[in-house]
Every structure is written in structure tokens, then in C-alpha cells.
Structure 1
Amino acid sequence: MSVICRNALTEDVEALFELIKGYAEKGIMLPRSREALTRSIDTFIVAEDEGRLIGCGSLCQLGSDLVEIRSLGIAEGYKGQGIGSRLVDALIEEAKIQGIPKVMALTYEAAFFQKNGFVIVEKEIFPEKVWTDCVNCPKQHCCDEIAVVRVIAPIPENEKVTYAQI
């Protein structure tokens, strides 16, 4: 297996849509339309194995010092092989490049995020998230997701890295 992580391309929209749809049908990820994916394609990092999209994740800026990891998923048959951690590493590097010091996520897999340097926190410390997404969520008053955050240091301007180096 030769998995690479790279920036998503417009040609990835259909594969992204199908991967996210599988998670959304299980109620563990918000659905994303093809149109929404096309509009936000530049926020996605994908993992591919021999040309097949097998994983994805995106960053959504919630404030000047906070981004959220969204739509993090791995295709069946590829879970448990470190691909999710590689995607998180790539997303963390992107946050560093953007100079954003805090990365958060809402998840059902807190142990995975803890293994990747995140700590569990109260959701209420992220009013940026609550007022942008949670207000429209059907689980708003009975949310069972766990909030996690990781504080990172931005990469100095003279030390920029590319995803190929991750």
C-alpha cells in the first residue's frame, strides 16, 4: 500500500461525496452536497492509494485563531492503518501554515484524537462553532459528540513545508 496525502482536486468531489455520504447515513458525520464540496474543495486533504480516494478531512476556519477538523473519514478496508492520523497531521500542518494556533473537532472517536495530541474540552468553549453550525443541527439540544482541541505553534515563514514532506 502506497498511501499519499494531498490537496483535494475538483475531480475528487464525487469520491468525497460518496465517502462522506456513507458516514452521514450512519449519523456520525454531517452530509455534504456535491455543490458544497465543490465550493470548499480547497479546504480538503485526501488520502489516496494507487489513485483511489480512501480518506479525507477538511479544515473550516471558525475564527482568527481557531479551525475545525471536519469530514474526517476513511474508506472501509483501510481503517486502523494510520491513515486517519496521517490526514490529521496534514491538516495540522495546514493550520500551522495558515498561522492558526488552535485546532478543534467534534467527534465520537475521542481516543483517536487524544492519540493525536488533542485533549477533551467542553463544547461551550467554542462559541464560534456553536453559532455557525450547532444552531442548525438536529442534535443541538442533545449533542453526544465530544469536543477536542489541540494547541499548535505556527510554522515560521522561512520554514514552510508541503504535504509531500509529511
Structure 2
Amino acid sequence: MAAVSHPEACPALFHVGITVADLDRALAFYRDGLGLTVQSDRVAESPTLATLTGVSVTRLRIALLDAPGGGVFELLQYDDGAMGEPLPASRAGTGHVCVFVDDLGEATARLLAFGGTQVSAEPVTVSGGEYAGRRCVYLRDPDGYLVELFTGPGPR
């Protein structure tokens, strides 16, 4: 099916964001462990934050990280920290971030050293489609967000 063009269509993806309990810990994982580059790290204070987020908050710490190849990853720390337990991978509303890595074993070990936990018992080899033969593994970041490491780069 061909894509339909609409005047209000999204011209580009700006960023993807996740909420973390401890931004410094998350920065160590994503910057030092995964290799993303910090674009900015600031505190936002405004009464409109509650209107925007639907949460009773007037202050957020926000870090934007650049990913190699494009894209921005946003980390948000609310004043009272993140609340609740991580959601199971099959739960609606749950997401994950997937990144290409050159060495799956080395990248996994590095992220475990920065507070990640391994979800996959072992790497899985993709059996079909354009990524057949590639290997991948799921981990959780220090706050429980799912991170998929995928041998790459790019489609074959």
C-alpha cells in the first residue's frame, strides 16, 4: 500500500524520550555505556509543564543525546523521580530502543557494567526478513527500559 500524503503529516521524527529516576545514572548508561553524545543537559522550570505532561510538576531535568546516524534520545527526570515498576515487554504502552552495534558481546558487557540487566538468556539469530542472520539481545537500562542491541549497521 502506498503512503498517503497529508498536509499535517509528520515531516520528521524529532526525538524519543523516556522517564528516568536518576538522570546521572542514566547518562552514564547511555553516554558512557552506549556512546551517545550529550547535546544538552538542563533544568526546565515552568508552571506549563503540568499542563503539557498531565503530571503535577513544575520542574524537570532534561538531557538530549545525539545518536550516531541521526536521531535524538531524551531523558527526563521529574523532581520526585520515576514512579512504578518497569512494564513487561508485552504490555501495551511499553517501548524499547534498538541500536546497531559492531560487537554484540562487547556492547552487552559494557552496558551490564553501567547498570544494565540482561533480559535475553543468550543472543538470538534473526531467522527471516531483511535482517536474517543478524544477532540481537535485549537488556534493561538501570530504570528498566528495554534496550535492544542488534548487529549492524543497517539493513543488508
Instruction: State the TM-score, normalizing by the size of structure 2.
Output: 0.32
Instruction: State the TM-score, normalizing by the size of structure 1.
Output: 0.30
Is the radius of gyration larger for structure 1 or structure 2? 2
